Amino acid sequence: MAVALCIFTVSVLVLALPCVFGGRYCNFDMLLPRDFDVGQFFGYWYEIERTETTLGYYTFVSQTWGFTESYQNMHNMKLHYAGRPPGYYCMRGTHELLPYIGAPGRFLMEDTSNVFQVVDTDYNTYALVYICYGQRLKQGYCHMSNMHVSLLSRHPSSDFAERDIIQHISNRCITRKDLVRAPEVASCQV
């Protein structure tokens, strides 16, 4: 888990001390990719591994995501998703993703306060995505209880080697034990 630092100035002395967040917050500003090409990200992605979520009816056992260019603005993305809650049929929805200026890979889900952040991707095989639900980031931070992390694959049959999973999540607010295999992969189509 990355450690956040608070800077305190005392006359000419500058002290960097760990902030007392107790591991309850994730600094999304520390997760920004160096660059992000929205056009290369378009297409289908399948959730392979994820953090456990407790969103009631919206706790999906399988998720498939599709990203397309928005008709409203070429810098926006349209997120199409399909998921299946336990014991229910597949449900589908869409969100307009509005880009944050100066924050590569970060989008605000229109009509919600959810923040969608692509943390890492090679555009061809994997993507690591963080979502902060129900709140806008407060000075770049998301409360861990509102955060969902998904390790996505371009292909539903793909399996990641353990070392690759650890490499993708290292120093990114979560540890290997925080991710679990998605119970079903690609059981719903977008």
pLDDT at 107: 92
- Is residue 168 one of the residues assigned to a domain? yes
Residue 128 lies in a domain: yes
- What pLDDT does residue 74 have? 60
Which residues lie below 8 Å from residue 182, measured CB to CB, with a gap of 6+?
47, 48, 49, 50, 61, 62, 63
- Residue 104: which CATH number? 2.40.128.20
Q: Can you tell me the distance from the alpha carbon of 5 to that of 15, in angstroms, rounded to the nearest whole number?
A: 10
pLDDT at 75: 64
Q: How many distinct structural domains can be found in the chain? A: 1
Asked if residue 75 is part of any domain, the answer here is: yes
The pLDDT tens digits along the chain (190 residues) read 444 443 433 333 333 323 333 468 999 999 999 889 988 999 999 988 888 765 554 567 778 888 988 766 666 788 998 888 778 888 898 888 988 888 999 999 888 879 999 999 999 999 999 999 877 788 889 998 888 899 999 988 877 766 777 777 777 898 888 888 887 788 888 8
Q: Is residue 27 part of a domain?
A: no
Considering the domain boundaries, does residue 129 fall inside one? yes
Separation of alpha carbons 103 and 75, rounded Å: 13
Has residue 1 been placed in a domain? Answer: no
**Using the 8-state DSSP alphabet, how is residue 167 labeled?**
H
CA distance 51 to 64: 16
Containing structural domain, residue 49: 32-181
Residue 9 lies in a domain: no
Q: Does residue 145 lie in a domain region?
A: yes
